[in-house]
């Protein structure tokens, strides 16, 4: 049974829009990751939240890189913290596409 | 709407897709388009391979591809397509040595020979690997590097193929959702290779990456191809359950079993595999189907661990031996609060690989002219239970053949007349979803329901009542597809791809359940509690087809 609550302040919106932040309260069990919480939000709270990930738990695809409290890190290996606000943002210096998804594709893998 | 054209379109850029692209270009194809829902060479299953790659390299002891073939057939419980299994085993050594020449750093013994370990089901040490738990990333990196050097291969990431397009029963192209713009892309192609992997993501407990939702099977079925052996889902017996681990794939205990043995224990600390006829005194020898059966039985009998699994213990292994075998991994475990010298971990079966897939001949051609398959997407080579270590060689070997076959087919095709009107419905579907649709159900929540019902009713143990209930619930979810909510907005809107994933996963799930319901026996990875015995009369493969009006049934 979930014992803790994480408070995630997530930057929402697409490039060019004024930055907006939305806070989510997410129940979690000890040891859960930030990516666990983002998937919980998509399932239970807001399916429109955009987040890039692929391997989910193996830390091999490296796609879930975001800024966590301003520090670049993997959502899949960063642990949640109870009762403290954690701010999640897309990578700075990359074009934001939507929410936590930024343009991280190598230039030669893009359509245009 | 963007229009692309290619000689060969490859759907999925894991090991099979990347190798198929290299092979097609080598065979003379000038325009190879390699696309992936995720990022090229980073999504899919290849990058997640932890350790074993089976090939009769004879580095440790005498071996021959025929011996590997015999072991593959025995593991497949009488259902392997022998010509595909022979192809896999015969060509595996060349592909593995080629990967070494391209820079994959296979683990070696002190004498310089490639190290090979004995995995369950193999008659001798045959499985090579890259330390530590790094086989998949190393293979994927090697292929990414090779692919990037070939000018004929165009790579596109975040492109989801939603529909294949046929004219007069032959492949002519595809329609795709561009994840960045949220708009439709049409692709004219003389040949298409599906290398989109398997369907394990449709089960609640799985070791899949995000894009293993069965898309390749759904695309092929809708295009008129047949699927084979869809009832055979490999449930990896010892998927990690507790305590919570981050940054490690849940199948990571397999390499520990290869190198160190380890003991499977019930809640009272008793070894239970001997009760199921499996004696592990000589090491890790229990095949995956039998171990999954034993563990599931123990849990059902109330002898499981607190989180609903069983214990896996290495407490009898010396700390120095653990560190010698897994060096940096021991540190990663420590960061997760796990000290194997002091405590067991909890493990339980987890959906890991799909034996079934698109029915193909030895040229990897499906029954639809111009449509090929490779890797996990292709069915048949592994029968009712895949032998450990056969997935990576299958990806490379079948990718090589598919690329060559598709290139020959494309070269012989005179016209590339793209009948745009045939793509209109699929493109309109993408456009309409991006307009936004009110509704009280999201695709993500419907996918959660699908995963829960597939795990409960079509998982390691099945019966007619549960499978019928699964079919009923799948058909209700299918009916709900037109009413699934999407938020308005196209750019990087995840709900568009979610909708297509749900549609594909429902098709794949239905194919699995129809095949499982029809097979009234237990064999390999397909275990029926209402038909406990293997029935010699069922030593045959089943095919699944979709009728013109979309009805999925055993062919």
Query: Mean pLDDT per segment of 10 residues, for chain A of length 112 residues?
Result: 88 90 96 96 97 93 96 97 96 95 95 86
**All residues at 6 or more sequence positions from A111 whose CB lies less than 8 Å from its CB, including other chains:** B2, B156, B159, B178, B180, B181, B185
Question: Nearest-CA distance from B335 to chain A in Å?
Answer: 11
Of A15, A55, A104, which to mutate for an interface test with B (greatest number of B Cβ within 10 Å)? A55
Please, are residues B475 and B450 in contact by the beta-carbon 8 Å criterion? no
Structure tokens belonging to residue B2: 């963007």
DSSP letter for each residue of B384-436: TSPPTT-HHHHHHHHHHHHHHHHHHHHHH-------GGGGHHHHHHHHHHHT-
Query: What phi, psi does A18 have (nearest 5°)?
Result: -65, 140
Nearest residue in chain A measured CA to CA from B242: A31
Unique residue bearing structure tokens 């111009």: B370
Please, are residues B535 and B520 in contact by the beta-carbon 8 Å criterion? yes
The helix or strand, by DSSP H or E, that contains position B101, with its residue range, turns out to be helix B82-101
Question: Nearest-CA distance from A13 to chain B in Å?
Answer: 10
Please name which of B181, B213, B222, B191 lies closest in space to residue B425, comparing C-alpha atoms.
B222
Q: Rounded to whole angstroms, how far apart are CA atoms B371 and B221?
A: 11
Chain B CB contacts of A3 under 8 Å are none
Q: Name all domains of chain A by residue range, CATH numbers in brackets.
A: 4-105 (3.10.20.30)
SS3 B300: helix
Please name which of B4, B1, B12, B6 lies closest in space to residue B358, comparing C-alpha atoms.
B12
Please name which of B474, B456, B455 lies closest in space to residue B514, comparing C-alpha atoms.
B474
Q: Rounded to whole angstroms, how far apart are CA atoms A101 and B335?
A: 28
Residue A62 β-bridge partners: none
- Check residue B415 and give its pLDDT: 64
**All residues at 6 or more sequence positions from B270 whose CB lies less than 8 Å from its CB, including other chains:** none
Of A61, A65, A100, which to mutate for an interface test with B (greatest number of B Cβ within 10 Å)? A61
Residues of B acting as catalytic residues: 288
Exposed/middle/buried for B100, CB within 10 Å: 0-12, 13-18, 19+?
Answer: middle
Instruction: Give the per-residue SS3 of B460-501.
Output: CCECHHHHHHHHHHHHHHHHHHHHCEECCCCCCCHHHHHHHH
Please name which of B291, B237, B301 lies closest in space to residue B267, comparing C-alpha atoms.
B301
ipTM: 0.97
CA A40 centroid distance within chain: 11
Question: Nearest-CA distance from A65 to chain B in Å?
Answer: 13
Q: Rounded to whole angstroms, how far apart are CA atoms B213 and B553?
A: 20
Q: Rounded to whole angstroms, how far apart are CA atoms B516 and B206?
A: 19
Q: Does A98 touch chain B (CB under 8 A)?
A: yes
| CB atoms B42 and A62 under 8 Å | yes
**Can you list the alpha helix ranges (DSSP code H) found in B266-385?**
288-300, 319-335
Helix B391-412 to helix B82-101 angle (10° resolution) is 100
Please name which of A83, A70, A12 lies closest in space to residue A41, comparing C-alpha atoms.
A12
Structure tokens belonging to residue B39: 């990022």
Q: Name all domains of chain B by residue range, CATH numbers in brackets.
A: 2-233+352-420 (3.50.50.60), 239-349 (3.90.700.10), 421-531+539-547 (1.20.58.100)
Question: Nearest-CA distance from A42 to chain B in Å?
Answer: 7
Closest Cβ–Cβ partner in B158, B246, B442 for A105: B158
Q: Does A38 touch chain B (CB under 8 A)?
A: no
Length of chain B: 555
SS3 A18: coil
- Check residue B416 and give its pLDDT: 55
Please name which of B441, B471, B478 lies closest in space to residue B454, comparing C-alpha atoms.
B471
Q: Rounded to whole angstroms, how far apart are CA atoms A35 and A78?
A: 8
SS3 B115: coil
**Can you list the alpha helix ranges (DSSP code H) found in B198-350?**
215-222, 253-260, 288-300, 319-335
Q: How far is CA B157 from CA B143, B154, B216, B554, in A?
A: 16, 10, 17, 35
Length of chain A: 112
Please, are residues B541 and B230 in contact by the beta-carbon 8 Å criterion? no
Interface A–B counts its CB contacts (< 8 A) at: 129
Please, are residues B212 and B29 in contact by the beta-carbon 8 Å criterion? no
Query: What phi, psi does A15 have (nearest 5°)?
Result: -55, 140
| CB atoms B246 and A57 under 8 Å | yes
- Check residue A14 and give its pLDDT: 92
- Within 69-88 of A, beta carbons closer than 8 Å to B belong to 74, 76-77, 79
Q: Rounded to whole angstroms, how far apart are CA atoms A15 and A90?
A: 11
Q: Which residues of chain B have pLDDT under 50?
A: none
Strands B2-11 and B184-194: parallel
Question: Nearest-CA distance from A81 to chain B in Å?
Answer: 14
Q: How far is CA B274 from CA B233, B255, B330, in A?
A: 25, 22, 29
Q: Does B338 touch chain A (CB under 8 A)?
A: no
Q: Rounded to whole angstroms, how far apart are CA atoms A9 and A81?
A: 13
- Check residue B283 and give its pLDDT: 84
- Within 437-456 of B, beta carbons closer than 8 Å to A belong to 442-445, 448
Unique residue bearing structure tokens 């010509």: B83
- Check residue A50 and give its pLDDT: 98
Unique residue bearing structure tokens 């429902």: B506
| CB atoms B43 and A61 under 8 Å | yes
Maximum distance among all Cα pairs of chain A, rounded to whole angstroms: 47
| CB atoms B48 and A112 under 8 Å | no
Q: Does A64 touch chain B (CB under 8 A)?
A: no
Exposed/middle/buried for B449, CB within 10 Å: 0-12, 13-18, 19+?
Answer: middle
Query: Does the bond joining A91 to the residue before it have cis omega, within 30 degrees of 0?
Result: no
The helix or strand, by DSSP H or E, that contains position B98, with its residue range, turns out to be helix B82-101
Please, are residues B225 and B516 in contact by the beta-carbon 8 Å criterion? no
Q: Rounded to whole angstroms, how far apart are CA atoms B456 and B470?
A: 9
């Amino acid at each position: 049974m979930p014992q803790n609550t994480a408070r995630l302040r997530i930057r929402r919106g697409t490039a060019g829009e004024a930055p907006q932040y939305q806070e989510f309260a997410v129940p979690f069990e000890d040891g859960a990751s930030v990516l666990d919480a983002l998937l919980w939000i998509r399932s239970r709270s807001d399916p429109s939240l955009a987040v890039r990930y692929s391997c989910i738990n193996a830390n091999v695809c490296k796609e879930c890189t975001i800024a966590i409290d301003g520090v670049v890190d993997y959502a899949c290996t960063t642990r949640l913290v109870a009762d403290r606000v954690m701010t999640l943002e897309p990578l700075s210096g990359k074009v934001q596409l939507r929410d936590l998804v930024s343009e991280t594709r190598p230039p030669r893998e893009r359509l245009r | 709407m963007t229009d692309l054209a290619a000689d060969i379109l490859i759907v999925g850029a894991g090991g099979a897709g990347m190798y198929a692209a290299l092979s097609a270009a080598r065979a003379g194809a000038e325009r190879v388009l390699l696309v992936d829902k995720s990022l090229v060479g980073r999504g899919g299953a290849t990058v997640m391979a932890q350790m074993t790659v089976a090939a009769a390299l004879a580095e440790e002891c005498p071996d021959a591809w025929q011996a590997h073939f015999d072991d593959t057939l025995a593991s497949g419980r009488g259902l392997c397509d022998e010509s595909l299994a022979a192809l896999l085993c015969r060509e595996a050594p060349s592909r593995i040595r080629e990967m070494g020449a391209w820079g994959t750093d296979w683990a070696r013994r002190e004498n310089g020979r490639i190290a090979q370990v004995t995995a369950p089901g193999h008659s001798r040490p045959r499985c090579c690997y890259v330390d530590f738990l790094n086989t998949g990333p190393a293979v994927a990196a090697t292929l990414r590097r090779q692919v990037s050097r070939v000018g004929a291969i165009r790579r596109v990431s975040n492109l989801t193929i939603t529909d294949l397009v046929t004219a007069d029963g032959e492949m002519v192209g595809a329609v795709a959702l561009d994840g960045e713009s949220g708009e439709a892309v049409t692709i004219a192609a003389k040949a298409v290779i599906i290398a989109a992997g398997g369907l394990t993501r449709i089960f609640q407990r799985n070791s899949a990456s995000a894009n293993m939702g069965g898309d390749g099977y759904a695309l092929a079925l809708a295009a008129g191809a047949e699927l084979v052996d869809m009832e055979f889902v490999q449930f990896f017996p010892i998927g990690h359950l507790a305590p919570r681990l981050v940054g490690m794939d849940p199948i990571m205990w397999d390499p520990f079993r290869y190198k160190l043995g380890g003991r499977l224990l019930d809640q009272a600390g008793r070894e239970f595999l001997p009760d199921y006829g499996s004696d592990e005194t000589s090491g890790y020898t229990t095949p995956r189907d039998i171990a999954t059966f034993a563990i599931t039985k123990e849990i059902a009998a109330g002898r499981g661990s607190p989180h609903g699994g069983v214990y896996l213990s290495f407490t009898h292994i010396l700390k120095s031996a653990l560190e010698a075998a897994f060096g940096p991994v021991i540190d990663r475990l420590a960061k997760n609060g796990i000290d194997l010298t002091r405590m067991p971990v909890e493990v339980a079966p987890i959906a890991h690989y799909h034996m079934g897939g698109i029915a193909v001949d030895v040229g990897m051609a499906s029954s639809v002219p111009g449509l090929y398959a490779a890797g996990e997407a292709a069915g048949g080579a592994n029968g009712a239970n895949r032998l450990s270590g056969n997935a990576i060689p299958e990806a490379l070997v079948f990718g090589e053949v598919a690329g060559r076959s598709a290139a020959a087919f494309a070269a012989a095709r005179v016209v590339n007349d793209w009948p745009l009107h045939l793509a209109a419905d699929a493109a309109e579907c993408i456009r309409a979803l991006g307009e936004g649709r009110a509704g009280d159900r999201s695709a993500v929540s419907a996918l959660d329901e699908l995963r829960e019902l597939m795990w409960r009713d079509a998982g390691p143990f099945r019966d007619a009542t549960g499978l019928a209930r699964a079919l009923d619930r799948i058909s209700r979810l299918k009916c709900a597809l037109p009413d699934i909510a999407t938020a308005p907005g196209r750019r990087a809107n995840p709900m568009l791809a979610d909708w297509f994933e749900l549609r594909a996963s429902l098709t794949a799930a239905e194919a699995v359940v129809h095949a499982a319901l029809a097979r009234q026996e237990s064999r390999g990875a397909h275990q029926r509690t209402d038909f406990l015995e293997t029935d010699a009369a069922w030593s045959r493969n089943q095919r699944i087809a979709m009728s013109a009006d979309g009805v999925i049934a055993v062919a």
